[in-house]
A and B are shown apart, each in its own frame.
Chain A
Amino acid sequence: MELTGAEIAIRCLQEEGVEYVFGYPGGAVLFIYDALFNQEKVKHILVRHEQAAVHAADGYARSTDKVGVALVTSGPGVTNAVTGIATAYMDSIPMVVISGQVPTSYIGEDAFQEVDTVGITRPCVKHNFLVKDVNDIAITIKKAFYLAKSGRPGPVLVDIPKDISLAKARFEYPQSVAIRSYNPVLKAEAGALKQAVHLLLEAKRPMIYTGGGVILSEAAKPLAELVRLLGFPCTSTLMGLGGYPETDKQFLGMLGMHGTLEANMAMQDCDVLLAVGARFDDRVIGNVKHFGSVPRKIIHIDIDPASISKRVQVDVPLVGDVAHVLQDMLAVLKASKHKPDTAALAPWWKQIEEWRSRNSLSFKNSLEVIKPQYVVQKLYEITHGEAFVTSDVGQHQMWAAQHYKFDQPRRWINSGGLGTMGFGLPAAMGVQLAHPGATVACVTGEGSIQMNIQELSTCKQFRLPIKIIALNNRYLGMVRQWQEFFHGNRYAESYMDALPDFVKLAEAYGHVGIRVDKPSDVEGALKEAFARKDDLVFLDFRTDPTENVFPMVPGGKGLSDVLMAEDI
């Protein structure tokens, strides 16, 4: 029997086991929506803006190890989706975006709602396709899922012109797919592995630096085993938090621009560095010359060869899937007659403990004004460290990353690479749908939340009991902090005047809103919010407008040039 292109597309999603599609209808995808309407397997979540559809698919993917799926129409549907796609691309999130396109005979004629989707999205997708023949839909969608999930994951876009979605073809979903030019490597070279283990066992001041690759490759278990077996200190990037239990003694906290003193100093001063699924980005190692000024041997595990020696020259490259490489490394390590140099490790740990004792994340709490860090600490306590926490971008993101201790992977969901404000709430929707009974908190600011505030309506429609923790300091806090430090206190456009009454706003959308002004009310408000299992609660915490994020490695500086709260 022949099916329409639209029906084929939906059948493909069914075959891929897709649970949810996040989307927004429009002219070019009407046949696809018709096909969605006529079945029940794939559920559609109607968002209020296409950017949110992609972020929700992204949150779904980040919290599950599955591919997120979004569906948008041509033209503005696609351009609205671009921020979401770029967000997923920068953080290597597996995602398939299906977009409608004007009919093939109209392409290039500046038709209504026409945009060169393949051209516009090219630099921010792993790959994209324009389907020109209905017979190609099934194989193209099969390829899209395969590309999105394998190798270094990423978003893949499939653009389907309207006439192709109406044309008919026989449907047969391919069992497997091979792309001759695409063969991601899973296992690292044996010789390099031995060399890496040799270096690790010789190390006097070792450091293990982990990133988002640990989460993406489901490598938390072998990582924990390796770190414990070696007895080395371990740190994580913003993207990797939860990949190694944060409450463990060997964990030094997050590193980077707002990382702990001990993580940054150990990163700078180590003699052997094992980088695991991390890419030495500018927010992590600061000034690349300063970082390179200390001699150290670097072992780098990454599935993407282009990530190796991109910013920092690597001594032992291990190209492969993080989980596979770590398992093989463990095997080599266990078979080795040698053991880590514990005599050398003792003074190294002593030095680290000295740095750690400076308690670089400490802040002065107050009885008068709510400190944002205090809210995150209470959030951590009340949710027993087990919530899924999404965040937006800015100071609140850093405080959440610093003060919520993630012991499990896929619990910390944020836009690390692109730094997309407006990510938190829609991402939380995807997380909540993927984990219906779970506690989901969105830590945000009054700036970020307004970038996708309309999604409160989606949350109402689908009864998503997300808890919004707004750290409302009436400033674009991170912008203000930089203006205070580097622009002579000239707060150009960083003050958010004329803010809405978030309590009334939440109520207008049919949710519960609670405003909290006093530190003594923080705990009670959080408890009340989390006790309301079925409601979305918007907690508007009026926090200290002058609070800054410390420690801080100013942009362009080296990792050991740390500004501490007490320095200011």
Chain B
Amino acid sequence: MRHIISILMENEAGALSRVAGLFSARGYNIESLTVAPTEDETLSRMTIVTRGSDEIIEQINKQLNKLIEVVAVMDLSEGEHLERELMLVKVRAEGAAREEIKRMADIFRGRIIDVSNHTYTIELTGSGTKLDSFLQAIDRSLILETVRTGASGIGRGDRILKL
């Protein structure tokens, strides 16, 4: 099953490699991983999307907690949560397609953030499936480049991961 795990960790050099190393050493898979410092500059917040049986997810949680630099771990998928991913897509935008892509971006609430004679660069935020749907909705041959951040997650309401 897919799980989205939030980690609060010391904002120190090498902390990321401990987490990444743990996943590769123990054969856990990482679908996506995002990390950046929080409002408290001594802490970083990481979101990992992974897949595994209940036993494996339990081990992932325990093994993450065992890392000295990890301050707190929360499996967001155990409760109500929100997740968002940012994607930038550069597409060929010429002739009739130029109008069509603009319309499609509007439908998906994307924003065109860069324009050239031949291209648009579209910014799109949402769940992973929404981003997938957008890519399927536009003519594949027009896609020049995509870059995605991977999911960032947060609990709903009073579910808070904070020190």
Contact = CB atoms under 8 A, between A and B. Distances in A.
Interface of A: 118-119, 122-123, 126-127, 130, 147, 179-182, 304-306, 309-310, 313
A304 B66 contact: yes
A337 B127 CA distance: 58
A122 B18 contact: yes
Interface in B1-52: 9-10, 13-14, 17-18, 21, 25
Contacts of B13: 130
Contacts of A180: 71, 163
B21 A127 contact: no
Contacts, number: 37
Contacts of B66: 304-306
Contacts of A122: 14, 17-18, 21
Contacts of A119: 17
B106 to A, nearest CB: 45
B21 A305 contact: no
The number of chain B residues touching the other chain, given as a range, is: 20 to 34
Contacts of A123: 21, 25
A182 B10 CA distance: 11
Contact of B68 (A179, A309, A310): A179
Contacts of B25: 123
B122 interface: no
Interface in B67-82: 68-72
B149 interface: no
A181 B64 CA distance: 11
A305 B68 contact: no
A13 B126 CA distance: 54
B125 interface: no
Contact of B71 (A181, A306, A309): A181
A118 B10 CA distance: 17
A127 B58 contact: no
A122 B23 CA distance: 13
Nearest to A126: B68
B119 interface: no
Given A123-B25, A181-B70, A306-B59, A118 B65 contact: no
B73 to A, nearest CB: 10
B9 A181 contact: yes
Nearest to B62: A306
B144 to A, nearest CB: 35
Given A122-B21, A181-B72, A305-B65, 9 more contacts: A123-B21, A123-B25, A130-B13, A130-B14, A181-B68, A181-B69, A181-B71, A306-B63, A306-B66
B55 interface: yes
A118 B14 CA distance: 9
Contacts of B55: 309, 313
Q: Could you say which of A118, A127, A147, A182 has the most chain B C-beta atoms within 10 Å of its C-beta? A: A182
List of 8 A-B pairs having minimum Cβ-Cβ separation, nearest first: A306-B62, A181-B71, A127-B68, A305-B62, A123-B25, A306-B66, A306-B63, A182-B68
A309 B62 CA distance: 10
A119 B163 CA distance: 28
B79 to A, nearest CB: 21
Nearest to B163: A180
B76 to A, nearest CB: 19
Contacts of B163: 180
17 contacts: A119-B17, A122-B17, A122-B21, A127-B68, A130-B14, A181-B9, A181-B10, A181-B68, A181-B69, A181-B70, A181-B71, A304-B66, A305-B62, A305-B66, A306-B59, A306-B65, A306-B66
A310 B10 contact: no
A180 B58 CA distance: 22
Contacts of B71: 180-181
A309 B58 contact: yes
